[in-house]
């Protein structure tokens, strides 16, 4: 009996070992399958971020030796008027390009969600098309549209009303209007599709009940659509805010390499410090400042979203 019991226990132990070994093999193979992503992320994502944190406290031209300068790079950029000008331009262009696209995206999504509109699939593709278009191609086309020449498309149109030609790439507000228009045109379709996905999840019974109560279209949007779309609105505001702080290709192509004070953004200022002036230390300091600005805005957006999303407590 004891020998039979021992043999049965050995068989169970061998099966358990085989099961464990097979489980370990499956685990290892799973990690091997996902390892390329993490390796690429470490090399091209995590390492540059950590190296930028490190480089922000050194003076380096990209080739020579690094010299530790502590907080001197931050002192340089904070005393540079062009740095504050780039932050100002980024905020103004972001507001001019982001706020209208959120409003128009909501209205376009409401129109596409309406049962009265025909050929909705064609309109959806047409509205979303600018988002998948190359940003460089968009900037080049808009550079032609907002040409400084008198025969430019926008200047020719304004000339019909007696307006003098505008040097868009060298005008303080002309540059901001042109860049903001590029951002609006490229991103309004993306936000429209996001809002449209949210609207399609809203029950039609709510709209039918509102119509029976005599609610107008504006009242339906205000009291039904917008409250039900709060998570989608917070998402688009969050992504649009981060995107506005990272504007780069539009001002660079529109104003040329290095940009000009009228339209330079904070990311273009970073590029100019690193790859035009070869001041990689100050460029890393700018990247670090931009990183904390994005973190602060992200936390503020999260706190506001949580506070608005909380339902008021009612007393018993």
Buried b (16+ CB within 10 A) or exposed e, 71-108: eebbebbeeeeebebbbebbeebbebbbeebbeebbeb
Average pLDDT of 43-54?
Answer: 89
DSSP-assigned beta bridge partners for residue 50: none
Is the pLDDT score of 313 beyond 70? no
Does residue 260 contact residue 169 with C-beta atoms inside 8 Å? yes
**pLDDT 10s digits, 248-270:** 988 888 887 777 888 899 999 99
Average pLDDT of 145-166?
Answer: 85
Average pLDDT of 292-307?
Answer: 81
Is the pLDDT score of 149 beyond 80? yes
When pLDDT is cut at 50, 70 and 90, the band that residue 311 belongs to is very low
Which three-class secondary structure string do you get for the chain?
CHHHHHHHHHHHHHHHHHHHHHHHHHHHHHHHHHHHHHHHHHHHHHHHHHHHHHHCCEECCCCCCCEECCCHHHHHHHCCHHHHHHHHHHHHHHHHHHHHHHHHHHHHHHHHHCCCCCCHHHHHHHHHHHHHCCHHHHHHHHHHHCCCCCCCHHHHHHHCCCCCCCCCCCCHHHHHHHHHHHHHHHHHHHHHHHHHHHHCCCCHHHHHHHHHCCCCHHHHHHHHHHHHCHHHHHHHHHHHHHHHHCCCHHHHHHHCCCCCCCCCCHHHHHHHHHHHCCCHHHHHHHHHHHHHHHHHHHHHHHHHHHHHHCCCCCCC
Is the pLDDT score of 179 beyond 50? yes
Is the pLDDT score of 10 beyond 80? no
**pLDDT 10s digits, 184-241:** 988 898 999 999 888 888 888 888 888 888 888 888 888 888 888 888 888 888 888 8
Give the tokens for residue 113. 């969600």
pLDDT of residue 54: 92
Is the pLDDT score of 316 beyond 70? no
Is the pLDDT score of 135 beyond 50? yes
Cα gap 207→192, rounded to integer Å: 20
pLDDT of residue 201: 86
pLDDT of residue 133: 83
């Amino acid at each position: 009996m004891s020998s039979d019991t021992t043999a049965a226990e050995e068989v169970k132990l061998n099966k358990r070992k085989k099961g464990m070994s097979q489980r370990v093999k499956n685990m290892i193979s799973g990690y091997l399958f996902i390892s390329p992503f993490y390796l690429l992320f470490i090399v091209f994502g995590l390492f540059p971020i950590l190296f930028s944190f490190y480089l922000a406290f050194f003076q380096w031209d990209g080739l020579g030796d690094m010299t530790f300068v502590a907080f001197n790079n931050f002192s340089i950029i904070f005393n540079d008027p062009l740095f504050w000008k780039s932050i100002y331009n980024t905020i103004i262009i972001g507001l001019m390009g982001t706020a209208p696209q959120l409003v128009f995206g909501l209205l376009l999504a409401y129109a596409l969600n309406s049962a009265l509109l025909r050929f909705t699939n064609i309109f959806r593709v047409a509205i979303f098309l600018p988002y998948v278009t190359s940003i460089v191609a968009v900037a080049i086309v808009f550079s032609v549209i907002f040409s400084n020449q008198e025969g430019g498309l926008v200047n020719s149109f304004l000339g019909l009303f007696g307006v003098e030609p505008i040097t868009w790439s060298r005008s303080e507000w002309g540059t901001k209007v042109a860049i903001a228009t590029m951002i609006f045109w490229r991103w309004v379709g993306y936000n429209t599709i996001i809002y449209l996905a949210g609207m399609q999840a809203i029950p039609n019974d709510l709209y039918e009940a509102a119509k029976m109560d005599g609610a107008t279209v504006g009242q339906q949007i205000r009291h039904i659509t917008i409250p039900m779309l709060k998570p989608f609105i917070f998402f688009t505001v969050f992504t649009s805010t981060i995107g506005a702080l990272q504007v780069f290709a539009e001002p660079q192509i529109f104003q040329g390499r290095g940009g000009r004070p009228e339209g330079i953004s904070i990311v273009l200022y970073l590029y100019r410090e690193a790859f035009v002036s070869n001041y990689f230390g100050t460029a890393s300091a700018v990247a670090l400042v931009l990183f904390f600005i994005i973190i602060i805005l992200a936390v503020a957006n999260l706190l506001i979203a949580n506070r608005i999303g909380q339902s008021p407590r009612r007393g018993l």
